[in-house]
Structure 1
């Protein structure tokens, strides 16, 4: 009876199926593409079955491969847990952590939280990538992504971080000069600041969609925020982004009874059962740190 004793080969196989790419598996395991391919071939030859069908465009798992994968996931996960248990016992929480986030959220909240997390765990190396575009987490080696809504990728998992309520707001100076709109239709009579590369956009409300044409536009959310503070118009922003200015009276919510359709802010990670302890710890830290801000909004 054959017994699988090629642990690296089993890990390569499990990573290839999970990530859907031999290249991505090799990068994550820290070995060359040639070495990963050789390990996979060696495992297939030992079992005398084809586990993965390869083509120039895609990989597909055979029936035998799917059977092995179901077991391999559990084996690799348990080995990872054993490794982490040993590390935790020796209190050596280390390694690298790469995080990506939208620009505004990263600057306003994430930088402060990362600084605190780093103080608690000085041996963890952290890289923060701020971008409003969606990055390929596997290709860029990203461990945790903060993004609006779920990403259309079966290799990723989304977990809600904040509800991300969006509101209309303007400065007291602007409202004193131009008045406060009492209905959505009145927004057409006001200067509206939109976050877009274009000079028109749709603002979606549960009742209907409002097409904003005569607007001030910027492709940067932070710049639009500053424009509102400067009294240039009414802006549509996430509550977490303007909360401090609302409490300080620098901005005033407009049409507070109007709900705005928006996607939640999610933590995006790879669909990976053997997630390192440092990633799980960072996610738990984010959830617990941002909960007070969420609770404040719920009570207001």
Structure 2
């Protein structure tokens, strides 16, 4: 009979962590215990769930189908536990989040720290990455992202406005001049986020334009791009959440303000919207209030532009 919840949790953690040794560390159990639980589970179901070698592991076809069911079972158990916590008016358990790296360091980390201080029984696992994560695969409670989401299986909640700006340091502009039209950008040093040396920067406003620029600096890290711009290395396109304070302080200067860029609102993405654990519901409300209170960049942006949502996860 399949009623061994610790074995199911061990199996789910092995898949999520990528190895039994990593799962053992996450579960704070001896490796022998984790291995035994997996062996017992495979014996009960009568199937091999994982193909294992000395270097890697992979789900078998049967294991992949079983894993999807196990995640649903564990989610139901977690919801049942959350209901009990709710009845006790306690916020505890593990809150699993992901957020863009630079936004996370600047804005999400202080919010998470304050929320946990209000609820000492809560544990928080925060992943900072500019890669779009698959919540259904990672088992995370929430992803904080810039941009719209097309997946109908996901639930979206708007957190705060956002718009992107083209900007550069005054030192760079003194040497290279200030562009007055998007077409001039091809003659400037450009800092590009991603893995493609050539990319399109698109502009709206009174005169729509699309300019294909070549990267003088190419980086996969938004914070590195931000730092390069502050060093006077070139022009960069960033979220106002990342560079807004630098614009207000004069460390960076916004360029082509009459040519607004397609915005990507700041949103919380949830794998589902029903029966959310109390910790997720309360943190979502707390996050929205704090981010709304943190908004302070009307002086450097167009209010209408901040409400436009045309693209998904554009460079920040």
Q: Deviations over 1:164-212 (max 9, x none)?
A: 2000111111011111111111112211111121221001112021111
Aligned: 1:197 with 2:192: no
Q: What is the number of residues matched between the two proteins?
A: 231
Ranges in structure 2 where 5+ consecutive residues have no aligned partner: 1-66, 301-316
Q: Look up the match of 2:30.
A: none
**Residue 208 of structure 1: aligned partner:** 209
Change (3 A) 1:224 1:115: same
Q: CA deviation at 1:293?
A: 2.9
8 Å contact kept, 1:200–1:213: yes
Native 8 Å contact 1:188 1:214 kept in 2: no
Q: Say if 2:230 and 2:252, in contact at 8 Å, map to a contact too.
A: yes
Q: CA deviation at 1:224?
A: 0.7
Could you report, residue by residue, the CA deviation over 1:109-145 in whole angstroms, capped at 9, with x for unpaired residues? 1111111111111111110011222222132220011
Task: Give 1:277-288 correspondences, 5 Å limit.
Answer: 277-288=278-289
8 Å Cα contact 1:118-1:124 kept in structure 2: yes
**Does residue 1:115 correspond to 2:113, yes or no?**
yes
The equivalent residue for 2:250 is: 249
CA distance, structure 1, for counterparts of residue 77 and residue 112 of structure 2: 26
- TM-score computed with the length of structure 2 as normaliser: 0.68
Residues 1:94 and 1:220: Cα distance change in structure 2 (over 3 Å): same
Q: Give the alignment partner of residue 129 of structure 2, picking from 128, 131, 136.
A: 131
**Residue matched to 1:298:** 298
What is the distance in 1 between the residues matched to 2:215 and 2:103?
27
| Alignment correspondent of 2:311 | none
Please say if residues 80 and 274 of structure 1, whose CA atoms lie closer than 8 Å, have aligned partners that are also in contact. Answer: no
Query: How far is 1:83 from its partner?
Result: 3.7
> What is the TM-score normalised by the length of structure 1?
0.71
Q: Residue 48 of structure 2 corresponds to which residue in structure 1?
A: none
SS of alignment partner, residue 98 of structure 2: strand
Please report how far the alpha carbon of residue 99 of structure 1 lies from its aligned counterpart in structure 2 after TM superposition.
0.4
SS of 1:98's equivalent in the other structure is: strand
Change in CA separation of 1:209 and 1:218 when aligned onto 2, cut-off 3 Å: same
Task: Name stretches of at least 5 consecutive residues in structure 1 with no aligned partner.
Answer: 1-19, 32-75
Q: CA RMSD in A?
A: 2.3
Alpha carbons 2:99, 2:128 under 8 Å: kept: yes
Q: Is the 8 A contact 1:145 1:267 kept in 2?
A: yes
- Whether the aligned pair in 2 keeps the contact of 1:96 and 1:126 (CA below 8 Å) is yes
Deviation at 1:161, TM superposition (A): 1.6
- Aligned-partner Cα distance in 2 for 1:203–1:283: 32
| Secondary structure at the counterpart of residue 105 of structure 1 | helix
Question: Is the CA contact (8 Å cut-off) linking 2:189 and 2:235 kept in structure 1?
Answer: yes
Name 1:25's counterpart in structure 2: 72
Q: What secondary structure is seen at the aligned counterpart in 1 of 2:97? A: strand
Shift of 1:272: 3.3
